[in-house]
Structure 1
Amino acid sequence: MFSIIQAAGWPIWPLLLCSVLAMALIIERLMSLRTARIVPPKLLDEVLQLTRGGLPGPDVVQKLQEHSVLGEVLAAGLNSAMQQPHADEGGLRQAFESAGRAAVHELERYLSALGSIASAAPLLGLFGTVVGMIELFGSQTPGGGSNPEQIAHGISVALYNTAFGLAIAIPALLFYRHFRRRVEDYAMALEQAAERLLPLLVRHAARAA
């Protein structure tokens, strides 16, 4: 591998940097977008069961907010219902929507960088190949003849950059698409959870009024 890097020349160093960044972003997103950290399976049912008997206390809401992303969204609605006991459905829904937008924005962190690497890596590989071809044919002396085997070897070396760029771009693009789909699924789950909690909060507000 080190001999291939040496043969590919200096244009491969930006590709190596892209590969390291892509790997770091993929690992970070795999750890951050786990279901247990975003939408724990039993959390919504527990909150619904607790809220049917009345609004929970501030300490419970604080623990819920620190529990997960779903907890943050549900806690935003509960805080709004506690701070404004006579709030209507529109006000409570707005609290859920604001918290949901902030949560989705946080879930999308670093995805644009990963998508940029997936788009730029093939272009960087092509740039390295062009630079290698220019250097190869520029080294041929006019009228001095040329060795076909040497030219073929030089072309294969120049194509290392393209191959390396594609090797970076393909998994980066696949993981980017995977993470985008996962974020969309989480956004839908957060929205559905808020819709299930909203009627209970509206009922408590009506009783308070």
Structure 2
Amino acid sequence: MMEALIAGGWLMLPLLGCSLLATVIIIERLWTLRAGRIAPHGLGQEVCSLITRGQVNLYWLESHSPLGGVLAAGLRNAGLGHEQVRSRLTEAATAVIHDMERFLNPLGTIAAIAPLIGLLGTVVGMIEVFAVIVAGDGASRTADLAGGISQALVTTAAGLTVAIPALMFHRYFQRRVEDITVRMEEQAGQVVEFLAHHGSAISLAEGQTPARDAERVEADGRLAPEVRHP
């Protein structure tokens, strides 16, 4: 390994840095972009059930998951009409999507520049080879010729070795973000549809939104906004 780094010359240093950075990003995104953590299955249906029973706890919902925070943002404006609910859901979902896409641009940049750095190493290595040939003493400087050729090949291989996994994971994470976004949209749509069809059966105290509704202290000491039925 060390011999390959030395053979590749100084251009192996930026490639090594790109490799380490890409590895860190991939591990972090694999841990963060878990569908069960961001958009738990069945949360939208559970929220609809809690609304029906008048047991919505927005504080618990916000801390439950990113999707819970999106749904809580919409429910806080339930008393202002469905358009406001949809608007708040969209704004909150946009923030979650932006967080899911964090570090994907740097990963894509690494996938794009790593082959270019390898190509630059190839060019530098071939320049050294031709410099030895032009000097007219190539036969006596075989080691220099071999070093230039080795640098050209090693940097090219290293650049591709870094770029290929980075590109694969970049595409994979993009697809995962899209899948999670679709799941969020489906569950948020369930809540909006529920409010549209059952809004008349749900009455908030004195026309206030859930955020401003009276708070009740539960047995475990938590604060939970009430959703009262007529």
Q: TM-score, normalised by structure 1?
A: 0.88
Kindly indicate whether the alpha-carbon contact (under 8 Å) linking 1:51 and 1:200 is maintained by their aligned counterparts in 2. no
1:69-96 CA-to-partner distances (Å, cap 9, x unmatched) read 1111111111122xxx2x2221111111
| Amino acid across the alignment from 2:16 | L
Identity score, percent: 46
Match of 1:52 in 2: 52
Aligned pair partner of 2:157 in 158, 163, 172: 163
Is the counterpart of residue 99 in structure 1 residue 92 in structure 2? yes
**Structure 2: which amino acid aligns with 1:112?**
N
Partner of 1:73: 70
Q: Runs of 5+ in structure 2 lacking a partner?
A: 208-230
Tell me which residue corresponds to 2:58. Answer: 61
**Following the alignment from structure 1 to structure 2, what is the Cα–Cα distance between the partners of residues 192 and 174?**
27
Given that 1:11 and 1:128 are in contact with CA atoms closer than 8 Å, whether structure 2 keeps it comes out as: yes
| 2:43 pairs with 1:43 | yes
SS across alignment from 2:188: helix
Mapped to 2, the partners of 1:75 and 1:132 lie a distance apart of 59
Q: Which amino acid aligns with 2:194?
A: L
Query: Deviation string for 1:35-75 (max 9, x for gaps)?
Result: 2211112323321211123362xxx2111111111111111
Matches within 5 A, 1:1-209: 1-54=1-54, 56=56, 60-81=57-78, 85=79, 87-140=80-133, 142-146=135-139, 150=143, 151-152=145-146, 154-203=148-197, 205-207=199-201, 208=203
Aligned to 1:9, the other structure's residue is in SS state helix
Q: CA deviation at 1:131?
A: 1.2
Rounded Cα–Cα distance in structure 2 between residues aligned with 1:54 and 1:201 = 13
The whole-number CA distance in structure 2 between the counterparts of 1:97 and 1:67 is: 19
Gapped regions of structure 1 (runs ≥ 5): none
Q: Which AA in structure 2 matches 1:70? A: L
CA distance in 2, matches of 1:45, 1:37: 17
Once residues 151 and 134 of structure 2 are traced to their aligned partners in structure 1, the CA distance between those partners, rounded to angstroms, is 20
Runs of 4+ in 1 over 3 A off after TM superposition: 147-154, 202-209
TM-score of the superposed pair, with normalisation by structure 2: 0.81
Distance 2:146 2:10 in 1: 20
Amino acid at match of 1:89: H
Superposition deviation, residue 146 in structure 1: 2.7
Alignment coverage as a number of residue pairs:
202
Whole-Å Cα distance in 2 between the matches of residues 65 and 42 of structure 1? Answer: 16
Cα displacement (A) at 1:157? 3.2
Q: CA RMSD in A?
A: 2.0
